[in-house]
A and B are shown apart, each in its own frame.
Chain A
Amino acid sequence: MNFDFSDAQKALKKQTRDLLRQVCDLTVPRRVLEGEEPYADEVWKALVDMESPGIAIPEQYGGLGFGYLELCVVAEELGRSLAPTPFSSSVYLATEAILLAGTDEQKQQYLPKLAKGEIVGTFALSEGSGALSEEKLACAFADGALRGAKTPVPDGDVADFAVVVARDGDADGASLALVDLTADGVERTTVATLDPTRSHARVAFDGAAAQRLGAAGEGWKLKDRVFDRAAVLFAMEQLGGSDACLAMATDYAKGRYAFGRPIGSFQAIKHKLADMYIKNELARANDYYGAWALSTDADELALAAAAARVASTEAYHYAAKENIQTHGGIGFTWESDCHLFYRRSKLLSLNLGSARVWKDRLVTALEAQHAA
């Protein structure tokens, strides 16, 4: 039994944390929130200089060839710092989709550039309000071209290419399609979201040239597998964020005086912060187990990923909202940093499908484990 990260993985975590402290304190997401930039280019470049996007990409495709435990510790730190970069879209989603379903030629074409941060990819599923099903997909792939629209697509306005889930005109069901977002037949419009520190777009395809990724008709299943893998990495980001909220609320409760004493000496505040700690530790335990399942491609991955996702979504939601509550009125001002976490928490909880959907996936996986 060795349920812990190795010394080298802990060192990588510290190195990433130190770097992000230097280049991405909370003034950086605030600058992106208040300005026009889609993301903080200097933070993205610093991560690329550390070769972070290529951590889990095999060496034969130009990556560092480490494993997913290494990528997980980086994700936790990205979440803690609220780094406003396209890292999650490009690394957890687009890269994973190509690694999972790509032909060797497709891997050669995309992965070395993704590893070096020379291109940014994303993943497009949502077509508007409500959780989508395979039967209701409107966006269609036929004769090497895509038609239809996706929204919101994370980093859809800055990514170079997207992996699109589309109804396949030549197969029964959906397929994944790779599409160059800078080519003809693609129209991208930035959309306003709850968290402007992470850019999103509506992407419309009008006969844009695309190629299949993975087998025809297998797109929905592949999407599920990509999402299982990404769920662990998103959960690690969520954990970093909820840890940061707990630290922020605890600091404030120690220093803020009311009724002649620190507010952290009142049980109403103590119990709130203890509950944050409890939820965070339940999330951490599930996330680290998910990290193990991801790194070993274990049979338990679907269940472990859903559990990590559900636990982290709950923990971050609670920590972000109760951090504001602990701060009182000042926490509701634009100048306070509380809302940066509150925004990000909701964004991350929906980017990969809501907790409602993940709870259902969890029980489906649990049913398989406890076959009747």
Chain B
Amino acid sequence: MDFNDTPEQAAFRAEVRTWLAANAEAKTGSKRSLNRRIDSDRGLEMAKQWQQKKADAGYACMHFPKEYGGQGAPIIHTVIYEQEEAKYDVPTGFFSIGLGMCAPTMMAYASEEQKQRHVPPMVRGEEVWCQLFSEPGAGSDLAGLRTRAERDGDEWVVNGQKVWTSGAHYSDYGILVTRHDPTLPKHKGLTYFFLDMRSPGVEVRPIKQISGASDFNEVYFTNVRIPDSQRLGEVGAGWQVSLTTLMNERLAVGGAPPPDAADLLALARGVELEGRPALEDPATRARIAEWYVEAAGLTHIRSRSMTALARGETPGPESSIAKVVSAPKLQEVSSYGADLLDMAGILTDPQQTLSDALFQSGYLYAPGLRIAGGTDEILRNIIAERVLGLPGDIRVDRDKPFNEIPSGS
């Protein structure tokens, strides 16, 4: 047992460090990160430039095959690169859905020509992708989706609505799952496509979240025509293709943004409780310890996953707990941090409150994280059924024709 790189990994890490030091600015504790300082339009422009720079230097998606814009490197190189990049203040987040979910689905199901056309521009940050899955009536029960695709010669005509689509407003392409036959049982009537987001009939409307920000959209489809050549998988195989995407989603969505236990410790040093630093308060200390243990556990689980990846093995099922631990933790740490600020805990202007309003922004962001990419409840079902092998819930809708399933509306 050790936490050292192999000589080959160490050499690669040193090379990455040198390149990052020459090309990016290191994070400092005192300054708000780039992602929090700038708006999303400017962020996208900077992220595209950064992604291109990475691609030119051969550091973008290193584990992708060379013909699709990667380096054909072992995945551990991508992990090492990301560990090092995380120490730098660079724009992030705009490509994670495309590269983490859309690209793997395309590589698994698109034609050779389509893969060569679409994956390399994703890797270079030239084209941004989004994922059109959730609907107003299909969230946790994704297979209950209703967006219709009807065949018309060599094309499909799509009508319906998607929701919670991250980045749809700046995306060039999207992956889309639709219902082609509502008379079949729900999982069997689905068909999967990719499409140009500038196709006539696609309308993107931003959703205003409780934080006031708009990271997600509603996307409306009115007689949108998609060539049959852009179908991924067989007609009726949409559910299987979706599972490929979702498996990659669980790898892509894991951690949570700050604040965490260490931020709370720093805050507790700086505020008082009954005339003493809050860090001397036993109740506060106990809470910090509890959250630290969760954060440290997730860090060490990542080390175990990295060990497996370095050996060319699949990480164990323990890596599936990351989001269900980190999202509620973010909410509780944020809430407790605001409590420590006492009456001033309501202030959201970073200039007027300690810790850069980190706890207030975490408080407003956390509810979404507990829902996105699998709710706390769905993730527990998955652990219970896939990891512990408990029997599935009794389904009243599995074998019925979809159009006979009660919908409550």
Contact = CB atoms under 8 A, between A and B. Distances in A.
Secondary structure dominating the interface of A: helix
Interface string B314-338: 0000100100110000000000000
A277 to B, nearest CB: 6
12 contacts: A3-B1, A264-B391, A278-B324, A281-B297, A281-B321, A285-B298, A285-B318, A307-B293, A360-B289, A366-B262, A367-B265, A370-B262
B251 to A, nearest CB: 17
A265 B306 contact: no
Best-surrounded residue of B2, B265, B297, B387 (most CB of chain A within 10 A): B297
B1 A250 contact: no
A286 B265 CA distance: 20
A286 B293 contact: yes
B306 A360 contact: no
Given A3-B1, A6-B1, A370-B266, A282 B297 contact: yes
A349 to B, nearest CB: 14
B324 A1 contact: no
A284 B290 CA distance: 15
A4 B325 CA distance: 22
Nearest to A67: B1
Interface stretch (A46-54, A80-88, A268-276, A333-341): A268-276
Nearest to B261: A366
A281 B390 contact: no
Nearest to B270: A372
Interface of A: 1-6, 69, 246, 250, 253-254, 261-262, 264-267, 269-271, 273-275, 277-278, 281-286, 288-289, 291-292, 295, 306-307, 310-311, 314, 356, 358-360, 362-363, 366-367, 370, 372
Interface residues of B, number: 51
B297 A311 contact: yes
B315 to A, nearest CB: 12
B377 to A, nearest CB: 7
Nearest to B384: A270
Given A278-B324, A310-B289, A286 B380 contact: no
B151 interface: no
B86 interface: no
A270 B385 contact: yes
A253 B385 CA distance: 12
Contacts of A295: 1
A286 B293 CA distance: 7
A284 B304 CA distance: 11
B321 A267 contact: no
Interface of B: 1-5, 9, 261-262, 265-266, 269, 279, 282, 285-286, 288-290, 292-294, 296-301, 303-304, 306-307, 310, 318, 321, 324-325, 377, 379-381, 383-385, 387-394
A356 B261 CA distance: 17
Max chain B CB contacts within 10 Å: which of A311, A360, A363?
A363
Contact of A278 (B5, B290, B306, B325): B325
Contacts of A270: 380-381, 384-385, 390
Given A4-B304, A277-B387, A295-B1, A366 B393 contact: no
A3 B389 contact: no
B408 to A, nearest CB: 19
B389 A292 contact: no
A5 B297 CA distance: 17
A282 B1 contact: no
A358 B289 CA distance: 9
Contacts of B391: 254, 261-262, 264-265
Nearest to A295: B1
Given A274-B388, A285-B318, A362 B289 contact: yes
Contact of A1 (B4, B299, B325): B4
B392 to A, nearest CB: 7
Contacts of B282: 356, 360
Contacts of A370: 262, 265-266
A226 B103 CA distance: 52
A343 to B, nearest CB: 24
Nearest to B318: A281
A225 B57 CA distance: 49
Given A270-B390, A285-B318, A275 B380 contact: yes
Nearest to B269: A372
Contacts of B4: 1-2
A322 B173 CA distance: 48
B262 A2 contact: no
Contact of B294 (A69, A266, A274, A282): A282
Output the residue of B4, B289, B318, B383 with the most chain A CB within 10 A: B289
